[in-house]
Amino acid sequence: MSVKIRLTRLGDKKSPFYRVVVADARSSRDGKVIENLGYFNPLKENELKIDKEKTLTWIKNGAQPTETARTLLVKAGVVENAKPYTSKKVTPKKKEAKN
């Protein structure tokens, strides 16, 4: 089972509020979570609170943060600015012009 540290969206329309959670990579964005690690409120001057001990435990056990979650973890001082997130995106091949 692949485990991700990611965000789930809460709040009303046009007033977002996010929780930083640990979830199975196959579950939906707002689906079942394993554990809540903290929250992020972008409307209140980027209010951010993350439980450092729980987060480090999950990272040591193999949980991979998403790109956005990694950025928030660096801002919170939980992890250092490690190597950037690498996705499995493939660049499309260029088509050759026919003469």
Asked whether residue 31 is assigned to any structural domain, the reply reads: yes
Q: Is the pLDDT of residue 23 over 60?
A: yes
Q: Is the pLDDT of residue 7 over 70?
A: yes
**At 99, is the pLDDT very low, low, confident or very high (cuts 50, 70, 90)?**
low
CATH code assigned at 67:
3.30.1320.10
Q: Is the pLDDT of residue 60 over 80?
A: yes
pTM for this model (two decimals): 0.75
Asked whether residue 89 is assigned to any structural domain, the reply reads: no
Domain span holding position 44: 3-76
**At 84, is the pLDDT very low, low, confident or very high (cuts 50, 70, 90)?**
low
Query: What's the structural domain count of the chain?
Result: 1
pLDDT, average across residues 75-93? 70
Asked whether residue 57 is assigned to any structural domain, the reply reads: yes
pLDDT, average across residues 37-58? 92
Asked whether residue 90 is assigned to any structural domain, the reply reads: no
Q: Are 73 and 55 in contact (CB under 8 A)?
A: yes
DSSP assignment string, the chain: --EEEEEEEEEETTEEEEEEEEEETTS-TTS--SEEEEEEETTTTSEEEE-HHHHHHHHHTT-EE-HHHHHHHHHHTSS---SPP-----PPPPPPPP-
